[in-house]
Amino acid sequence: MVPPPAERDNVRVSSPALQTTPTADGEDALTALVALVREDLDACNRQILERMQSPVALIPQLAAHLIAAGGKRLRPLLTLAAARMCGYRGERHVRLAACVEFIHTATLLHDDVVDESDLRRGRASANAVFGNQASVLVGDFLFARSFELMVEDGSLEVLRILCSASATIAEGEVLQLVIQNDTSSTEAQYLDVIEGKTAALFAAATRVGAVVADRPVSEAEALDSYGRNLGVAFQLVDDALDYSAEQGKLGKTVGDDFREGKITLPVLLAFNRGDEAEKTFWRRVLEERQQEEADLPHALELMQKHRAFDDTIARARDYGDRAIAALACFPDNAEKRALIDVVEFCIARAR
């Protein structure tokens, strides 16, 4: 049910404190990156808050709920840092970082409706509070805002990159629906899903940094590779955490992917390495959706038995290494070191 409208027609949205997670060696890579681009990030947040306003009270009200839940602002941070690493000193990257965040937030709103999720970043999801209809429509509003920002930038190449990423995200989500509950799905199909729904926006977020700096195509492609590989690593860790983390650490209910019958790499590894009795179990709980209270603990036992969690994180580490290697063509500077440390931050979430 939609909460009653606020007393004033236009609910103002305020900015939250940034949430970060320390890396294993005690350094907080995300906090270091934030400090490095603090002025740009503050300007980006102002853009986000300004563009979230609307005379339709429910839009800023729902937006305020999302912002209150926190969030790392990782994708816009990548845009800001990539542009600075490439030597850009203008202001275009600030609007584009806000654009990236709007695309991301819109997809979160839509995803939670599709997945019937009750939690987002440890709080009640927008659809749980405001209803599915409001969440979908406000997600559409945020997509529209992102396209306004692209048009204002005036670059056809930027428009091409971000529009392509938006379409690819939708394709990834649809493909996930196609293979959901199907234990005959392949690792290649699973990778297509996460490269679409997650990695495409990471790649676009970093690539536009080179474009606004007017850097050579080779550098834009290097940043594309960095973002794409980082995005795959990020999603692999997320999918592993669904079967291993505490609810507070994950920001959603542990086991949601299991209950929804999602085919992720930990599931594929455990299924393909199991005997026929174990495969029968997976088919029952994922394909037939006949789940009992003891099934999730048993699934965790099977994953432990077949090293599904450890091997998923190892795969994430491999993609993280590829992301770092993609930055080799850039001279050493503070932004480059921060982008390398962010890779470590993303993978360290599994520890």
Q: What does the pLDDT average to over 141-157?
A: 96
Instruction: Average the pLDDT over each of 55-59, 97-101, 126-130, 281-285 and give the range with the smallest value.
Output: 126-130
**Packed helices 217-241 and 265-273: angle between N→C axes, nearest 10 degrees:** 60
Distance of CA 309 to the CA centre of its chain: 20
Mean pLDDT of the region 165-186: 94
Which residues are bridge partners to 119 per DSSP? 124
Task: With a cut of 70, say whether residue 252 has pLDDT above it.
Answer: no
For the stretch 260-305, pLDDT in tens is: 899 999 999 999 999 999 999 999 999 999 999 999 999 999 999 9
More confident residue, 9 or 320: 320
Query: Which of 4-8, 59-63, 114-118 comes out lowest in average pLDDT?
Result: 4-8
Secondary structure (H, E, C), 87-101: CCCCCHHHHHHHHHH
Q: How far is Cα 258 from Cα 302, in angstroms, rounded to an integer?
A: 13
User: What is the pLDDT, as a whole number, of residue 349?
Assistant: 85
pTM of the model: 0.89
Of residues 25 and 249, which shows the higher confidence score? 249
Dihedral sign of CA atoms 31, 34, 39, 45 in order: negative
Give residue-wise pLDDT tens across range 323-343: 999 999 999 999 999 999 999
| Percent of residues, the chain, with pLDDT higher than 70 | 88
Give CA–CA dist 19/34, Å, rounded: 11
- 123 SS3 class: strand
- Residue pair 44/78 in contact by the 8 Å Cβ criterion: no
Tell me: pLDDT of 24 over 60: no
pLDDT tens-digit series, residues 64-115: 787 766 678 999 999 999 999 999 999 999 999 999 999 999 998 988 888 7
Q: Which residues contact 199 (CB under 8 A, 6 or more apart)?
A: 227, 228, 229, 230, 231, 232, 235
Are 289 and 281 in contact by the 8 Å Cβ rule? The answer is no
Q: State the Cα–Cα distance between residues 16 and 38, nearest whole angstrom.
A: 14
Q: Alpha carbon of 207 to those of 101, 106, 113, 199, 203: distances in Å?
A: 15, 20, 29, 12, 6
Determine the pLDDT at residue 117.
76
- Please give the pLDDT value at position 253: 67
Q: How many helices, marked H, and strands, marked E, lie in the chain? A: 18, 2
